[in-house]
Amino acid sequence: MFKGTFYVPQAKNEVVLSYAPGSPERALLKQTIEKMRSEQIEIPMYIGGKEVRTGNLVPITSPHDHKHILGYFHRGDASHVRMAIDAALAAKAKWIALPWEARAAIFLKAASLLSGPYRMKINAATMLCQSKTAHQAEIDSACELADFLRFNVQFMTEIYNSQPDSAPNEWNRIEYRPLEGFVFALTPFNFTAIAGNLPSSPAIMGNVVVWKPSNTQIYSAKVIMDIFREAGVPDGVINLMFVSGPVAGKEIFTHRDFAGIHYTGSTEVFHEMWKMIGDNIKTYKSYPRIVGETGGKDFVMVHNSAVPAQVATALVRGAFEYQGQKCSAASRAYIPASLWPAIKQEMLDDLNEIKMGPVEDFSNFMGAVIDESSFDKLSQYIERAKADSSCEIVFGGKCDKSKGYFIQPTVIKANNPMYETMQEELFGPVLTLHVYEDEKFEETLDILDKTSIYALTGSIFAQDRAVVDYVMKRLANAAGNFYINDKPTGAVVNQQPFGGARGSGTNDKAGSSLNLIRWTSPRSIKENFVTPTDYKYPFLREE
């Protein structure tokens, strides 16, 4: 076998297409959407290279047009979880035996397929089934996922290149082994890129994976699986199954070969799973890796030296793009009284202009929220705020689920900075703000830091540099991704590695080598070229 020291192509962030009127990509995307809307797809599970159909069909609909059926998926049960685990374990030996450059080539090819021939398909699936606009789908399902795949391959080589020193006459090496057993990837509805990243990043490091996506993201998950298969991911290395979360958890967390979980989703589910893993700790061969990125209650802190138009734009984009269903969405803001009239006016000007409706109409800035239970939860929060004399609805407040799950962008002004919507993650287009007396800036920082259990993202808006510096130190642990004079959303792979601490997760920074390192179990190897043959050290000799 010929050998060489190979370098992977330098990864670059995928260029975001504009979909502006007259652009070729706009015409192509519209055609793809039209085609998908006119068909009904049937999606099997993919386990060990087999397409598994159970006949237990669950309809897939559009959140913004919930009577329109786009297709069906085959729901599985506990037996399919066991089948997926067995398939993963059976594929392990061959996957490990492949050289790393073969794994690199497979996932680089997947990135090229995604950003090329599959781009419109994955964007259209994300738009129709997750109600993202063309721009939101493009930055997520096409660009961010391609970035994850390309940069993770590069990070893998950087990790492999990280090697120890050697003393004279010996050679020390570190071998980055995959984990013993299988990895469970459990993914949320709101980012197609996260759904693709959580199973592929452990697989890039040589692991085998059982993947369970959210029910409301299955269409784009199927497109990801098509890409992986065409790119050459061997059968059984990534197994896609559609079962309920608790059913999957029961089988997986009691299995001896469970080696780790790569999770993104709500904090509550993470707590439950961590507890189950703890309860079963004696069952496992190794201590499982637990990597979880969870909820957020992301803040915008405004100082009275800030520019009102900048704050208003950050709030409108940060709180309402993708209907506020980003873990990083701005959902609480602290505004000095002196700037409130100007910020309010700027925000109202924008909000009065914003259009909400089906995402197939490209002039809509917002679509619908993901499903009925999310709609019902959000409308209850809004109704409670309307009835509470300490709150004022500054904008919005209307909810209508007759055709799609539409919640108007809503701004609540809460006199009480500890009001429930200042503390809890709502995961929808609802921004709560608290207007503070300018001289209570310090006190407000304290309140901000203590209000919620989360520490995912946050922003400071101030022109006064000393204030920026002070707030950075004062809020050192309030956010894993901290922004200065910018909205707290929109992290880019390899530019702002993403993750939070406290109740927001294990902060293993997706989009950086810090995440990939969790999917290896390094082995230190020492080879001695002059092996001793006498046990006696020199000091033992007589004078």
Residues that bind ligand NAD (CB under 6 A): 186-191, 194, 212-214, 245-246, 248-249, 264-266, 269, 272-273, 293-296, 327, 425, 427, 456, 498, 504-505
The reply to whether 129 belongs to the active site is: no
* CB 444, min distance to ligand NAD, A: 24
| Residue closer to ligand NAD (CB basis): 76 or 178 | 76
Contacts by 495-502, CB closer than 8 A, 24 or more apart: 495/13, 498/293, 498/328, 499/293, 499/456, 500/293, 500/296, 500/454, 500/455, 500/456, 500/457, 501/455, 501/477, 502/453, 502/454, 502/455, 502/477
Angle CA 333–336–340, to nearest 5: 85
Angle CA 520–523–525, to nearest 5: 150
| Residue closer to ligand NAD (CB basis): 127 or 273 | 273
Angle between helices 119-130 and 24-38 (to 10 degrees): 60
Catalytic residue among 129, 327, 391, 399: 327
Q: What is the dihedral of CA 411, 413, 417, 418, to 10 degrees?
A: -60
Residue nearest to ligand NAD (CB): 245
CA–CA dist 156, 186 (Å, integer): 22
| Residue 78 Cα distances to 257, 258, 344, 362, angstroms | 17, 16, 52, 41
| Residue closer to ligand NAD (CB basis): 346 or 508 | 508
| Residue 410 Cα distances to 166, 284, 354, 397, 403, angstroms | 61, 47, 12, 5, 20
| Residue closer to ligand NAD (CB basis): 190 or 239 | 190
| Residue closer to ligand NAD (CB basis): 190 or 520 | 190
CA–CA dist 325, 425 (Å, integer): 10
* CB 432, min distance to ligand NAD, A: 16
| Residue closer to ligand NAD (CB basis): 397 or 503 | 503
Concatenate the DSSP letters of all residues of 268-280 into one string. HHHHHHHHHHHHT
**3-class SS at 321?**
helix
Count other Cβ atoms within 10 Å, centred on residue 445.
20
* CB 506, min distance to ligand NAD, A: 10
The reply to whether 327 belongs to the active site is: yes
CA 404 to chain centre: 25
| Residue 169 Cα distances to 14, 39, 527, 528, angstroms | 46, 68, 9, 6
3-state SS string over 149-180? HHHHHHHHHHHHHCCCCCCCCEEEEEEEEECC
> Which residue carries 């013993």 as its tokens?
180
**3-class SS at 202?**
helix
* CB 519, min distance to ligand NAD, A: 17
CA–CA dist 248, 269 (Å, integer): 13
Q: Are 286 and 177 in contact (CB under 8 A)?
A: no
Catalytic residue among 14, 293, 346, 425: 293
Q: Are 459 and 330 in contact (CB under 8 A)?
A: yes
| Residue closer to ligand NAD (CB basis): 140 or 350 | 140
| Residue 115 Cα distances to 205, 477, 479, angstroms | 22, 36, 32
* CB 9, min distance to ligand NAD, A: 27
| Residue closer to ligand NAD (CB basis): 294 or 512 | 294
| Residue closer to ligand NAD (CB basis): 279 or 527 | 279
* CB 4, min distance to ligand NAD, A: 38
**3-class SS at 221?**
helix
**3-class SS at 409?**
coil
Catalytically active residues are 293, 327
